[in-house]
Structure 1
C-alpha cells in the first residue's frame, strides 16, 4: 500500500485564499495475527511492517527474542493489512493462554491486556547501563531525527522514533502516524540489525507517556529523549527503572526529569 495520498485543499496564506493540494499520510488498519487468530488491530502507516511486527511482539511481551518468530507474512486485505506471525510452539501456547480472558482485539498503546496490574507492569531495570552523554549528544540526536524523516517532511503529520549511538549518530529511524507504532517499528529495526538497546538512546518526536518508557526499557535502552513533555507516571516509571528522561528538547535546550547523572556533568545553576 502507498504511504501517502495527494488531496485537494483550500488554503489561506497571508490573507489570500487559494485552491491547491497537499500530501497527507495514509492510515490503515493493521492486524497482528498469531497462529491464525487476530490479537490486535492498530491504525498505522503501511510501511516497515516486519519491523513493526517484531517490535510490537517484543514490547508487548509476546516474545523475548526475534528467534522466537518463525515467519512473518503480510497480506493485503483491501481495506487493511493482516500481518500474520508464526511463533515457536511454546510461545504460541503461552499467547493462547494469555488471550483466553480477552474480550476482543484492541488498538491502543497497551495491547492485549486485561487487568490494571498488567497495564502497570514492572519494566526491566536499566540502572546499571552507564551511557554517559554530553548535552551535544542530546541536541544532535533530536536534530538528526528531525532531518531524517522523509514522510514527515512531505506530510507534516507523522511521528518519528530514532536510535542514536554516541560516536556513530542515528543508526535507525522509523515513522508512523502513531507514536507507539513508530517506537515499535524502531525496536524491530534495531533488533533486525543485531543492535542492542544498551548501546544507544531512543529519541522520539512526541510526548513521553508511560507506554513509551515501558517500550524503551524493554528494548534495553537507558535514555529516552523527546521533543515534548513527560507525564508524571512516565517520570515515576523511569525513576523505578533507572532510566534517564530528557524532554522538551528544542534546539540547544532540554529538560532532564530522571537520572540526570548520565547527561549533566558539573554544577547545575539554579535560576530564580
Structure 2
C-alpha cells in the first residue's frame, strides 16, 4: 500500500459518487482547399479563421509566393464541412500541379497525402534574417503563449501557434498543429506583418513539416514547448533556422543556430 493511504475501515470498499457535468469540446470538420476549381487537399480542422488557413496553406505548400497571387478567396459552408475556394494566378496554378495531394489529410500529419517522396522532403529556402532574442525573451514568449489559448483553456484538446515581436501579436488555435501554424501564417500575411522580425512560438512538437513551413515563411526563430525530431533539426540547420525547444518554465534547449539566442 502506498505511504499516506489508509484502507477503509471494516473492509468496506471506497465510495465513488457520479455526477453530470458539461464540457466544451473542439470541433473537427472536413475543410477542402480548392484552387481554381480543383481540390488540392481535404484537412480535418477547427472551423475558425478558415480564410487565414487557406492563405497560409497556399503559401507553405508553395502554391503562391505572394499574397497578391490569390485573386479571390471565399469560405463556403456545406452540410458536411467547409470549402476554402481560391482563384490564383496562372503561375501559381502551375506550381500547384507540382505539389499534388490526393487524399484527406488527418490532423496529425501535415505531409499526409503527398504522392511523391521528393515533395515530402523538399528543399526549403535559407532564412536570411539576423533577428535575435535574449534567453529571457525566449522564456517570456513561451509563457505569454499561455495567455492566448482560449480554446485550449476550454477544451484541453487543441494546439496553438503564435508570433512574438516584443509580445505575442498574433495567435491561432486548431485541433491540428500544422493547421494552427498555417492559420497563423495566413494571419501574418493578412495583417502585413514582417515574419523576418519575430519568432514563431508553438505548443506542439517540432516535426519536419513545421520546420518547412516556418522556413518558407522566413521567420528566423522557432520556439516550441515540446521536442523536435532528428530529421526536423537536420532541415532547420540547413535552412539557417534557429530552433529552441522544450521551452518550459526557466528551461529551454537550443538545437540549431544558437547565435540568435543571446544572454
TM-score, length basis structure 1? 0.86
Alignment of 1:67-146 (within 5 A): 67-96=68-97, 98-99=99-100, 104-107=102-105, 108-110=109-111, 113-126=114-127, 128-146=128-146
8 Å CA contact 2:161, 2:200 repeated in 1? yes
Q: 1 CA distance for matches of 2:50 and 2:233?
A: 30
Give the superposed CA RMSD: 1.7
Partner residue in 1 for 2:248:
250
Tell whether 2:203 aligns with 1:214: no
CA deviations on 1:203-223 (whole Å, 9 max, x unpaired) are 000000011000001110111
More strand as a share of residues: 1
**Deviation (angstroms), 1:111:** 5.9
Q: 2 CA distance for matches of 1:202 and 1:90?
A: 29
Q: 1 CA distance for matches of 2:226 and 2:141?
A: 14
Q: 2 CA distance for matches of 1:221 and 1:93?
A: 26
Q: 1 CA distance for matches of 2:99 and 2:258?
A: 38
CA deviations on 1:219-240 (whole Å, 9 max, x unpaired) are 1011100000000001111111
Partner residue in 1 for 2:160:
160
Q: 1:98 to 1:254 in 2, by over 3 A?
A: closer
Q: 2 CA distance for matches of 1:158 and 1:203?
A: 15
Tell whether 2:60 aligns with 1:59: yes
Q: 1:210 to 1:94 in 2, by over 3 A?
A: closer
8 Å CA contact 2:99, 2:119 repeated in 1? no
Tell whether 2:26 aligns with 1:25: yes
Partner residue in 2 for 1:11:
none
Aligned-partner SS, 2:104: coil
**Deviation (angstroms), 1:87:** 0.6
**Deviation (angstroms), 1:125:** 0.4
Partner residue in 2 for 1:195:
193
8 Å CA contact 2:172, 2:180 repeated in 1? yes
**Deviation (angstroms), 1:112:** 6.1
Q: 1:239 to 1:90 in 2, by over 3 A?
A: closer
TM-score, length basis structure 2? 0.89
Q: 2 CA distance for matches of 1:208 and 1:146?
A: 18
Q: 1 CA distance for matches of 2:239 and 2:126?
A: 4
Q: Could you say which structure has the larger radius of gyration?
A: 2
Q: 2 CA distance for matches of 1:111 and 1:37?
A: 18
Unpaired runs of 5+ residues, structure 1, are 1-13, 266-272
Unpaired runs of 5+ residues, structure 2, are 1-14
CA deviations on 1:32-66 (whole Å, 9 max, x unpaired) are 01111211000000000110000000000000011
Q: 2 CA distance for matches of 1:98 and 1:198?
A: 25
Q: 2 CA distance for matches of 1:83 and 1:61?
A: 17
8 Å CA contact 1:39, 1:112 repeated in 2? no
Q: 2 CA distance for matches of 1:153 and 1:240?
A: 36
CA deviations on 1:82-108 (whole Å, 9 max, x unpaired) are 111111133224424654xx6x23314
Alignment of 1:2-17 (within 5 A): 16-17=17-18
